[in-house]
Amino acid sequence: MPLATIAMAAALIGLMLCAYRGCSIILVAPFFAVVAALGSQHYGLPIFSELYMTKLAEYVKTYYPIFLFGAVFAKLMEKGGLASAVAAKIVSTLGEERAILAVILGCGALTYGGLSVFVVAFVMYPFGAVIFRQADIPKRLLPATLWIGIFSFAMVAMPGTPQIQNIIPAAYFETSSWSGIGIGLFATIIFMVMGWGWLTYRMKKLKNEGEGYGAHADRQSGQGKATVSWQLAMVPLLMVVIINVILSNPFAWDWGFHWAEDMLESLSGMKLTLIASHIGKVSAIWSISIALIVSSVAAGWIGRKRLKATDGFLNPINFAALSSGTAALNVASGFAFGCVLVAMPGFSPIKDALLGLSASSGPLLSAVLATNIMCGITGSASGGLTIALSAFGEQWAQAAIAQGIPLEVMHRIVAIASVGIDPVPHCGALVTLLAICGLTHKQSYFDIVVLLFMKFTVPFLCIAFYMLTGIV
């Protein structure tokens, strides 16, 4: 085996083991990036400072606004009691006889409304634990239920979702967050049917075997009684969606907002190395950023009584701003590490095979496989998706245009593919979710793995749906 391949494998395995054991990826990713370079003709320090750090800076420059404004919006929704009001309404409406569906839909509503996926997990966990206990559903199914509600249809499939996994393809294909409406709705149905169907089957099977909720000392959520009506609490969530669709104007309405195509020209003389080449590469990020800022003001106003009675306005906002930096660096570190691997000679055979697949079987199939590989390597849907698009996005776009495939289709397919095998054991989101639920991999990972294989099939079904119907 060539030394370059050995070095890459050692770096990848080392990163996975360290992440699994709780080491910060911000600290260990640059170290293993240098390890990956040991088998190449490159020196370690240039790889660190010129490749790894440059790619990290590129990711932060492009996507940090989404992390920042999204974190502030989510924290105001959480601390103001708005998120709890919406979640409680959904759970109480559906009741304990449909407990699994209630948790899935509650997670989906908050995720699609623009809350950070981690905030959704913290908000929905106490409601899920209560209703699962009342319905005597085995608690070990709760992480998988939360996972399918947060990290699937509402994050990547539903058109217009403000989650970053839906914004990243827009920056590469110059599309909008509303791309591929037909495919996205089809995928949403598949995700929900698969997830709800499997978890319902498992619930019945385990109950028939005599297993109930179990003896778990659940932590109190500290949410308290909702001080805001669910109707008012829905307003900021709806504002995110409505403002985003008006500003991004995916349907090219005459009355909708249009970004000036020459907005970047005044900066061209400054020789900025990371400046976007076209307005289309940044307009989607600008649109969702403005939507989140305006909606944060609305959330703060609606939840002002709860905020004043607890931590005030400044503390939650400051905490969100600081935590957004850590979240962005976590993902950017995984992205930069993946970029180093892709640039190494040992990755060339894999890259050639994926590009060859694009030429022989079309860019859609190549996109699904490459995105899944990268997301599995990094344990991050957004990080893996960004690496895949950085390495292959231009070739996929050219091949799609040559074959008459709209870039809106590419956008939705790669977004959906990013949540295929992302819940690998070292996935940071998975480790966090299990910690929130107070469970372990041994207790709950089986059902998440089953959902992993199910989710892996969804983009292939979407390709078949598009090829058979032509619906975008």
Rounded to the nearest 10 degrees, what angle do helices 407-417 and 363-378 cross at?
30
Does residue 302 contact residue 228 with C-beta atoms inside 8 Å?
Answer: yes
Rounded to the nearest 10 degrees, what angle do helices 82-94 and 230-248 cross at?
110
350-383 per-position pLDDT tens digit:
878 877 877 777 899 999 999 998 888 777 888 8
The rounded distance, in Å, linking the Cα atoms of 318 and 292 is 16
Question: pLDDT-based confidence at 226, cuts 50/70/90?
Answer: low
156-197 per-position pLDDT tens digit:
999 999 898 999 999 889 898 999 999 999 999 999 999 999
Q: pLDDT higher for 81 or 192?
A: 192
Q: What is the pLDDT of residue 471?
A: 95
Distance of CA 328 to the CA centre of its chain: 12
The rounded distance, in Å, linking the Cα atoms of 127 and 223 is 10
For 435: left if phi > 0, alpha if psi spans -120 to 50, otherwise beta; the answer is alpha
Question: pLDDT-based confidence at 221, cuts 50/70/90?
Answer: very low
Closest CA to 304 of 295, 313, 296: 313
Give the up-direction half-sphere exposure of residue 139: CA atoms within 13 A in the CB hemisphere: 20
Residues 6+ away with beta carbon under 8 Å from 292: 66, 69, 70, 72, 73, 114, 162, 240
375-412 per-position pLDDT tens digit:
887 778 888 898 899 888 999 999 999 999 999 999 99
Distance of CA 168 to the CA centre of its chain: 10
17-68 per-position pLDDT tens digit:
887 676 788 899 899 999 988 878 888 889 999 999 999 999 899 889 988 9
Residue type at 182? G
The rounded distance, in Å, linking the Cα atoms of 461 and 147 is 21
The rounded distance, in Å, linking the Cα atoms of 426 and 17 is 7
277-302 per-position pLDDT tens digit:
778 888 888 998 999 999 999 999 99
Model confidence at 249: pLDDT above 90 = no
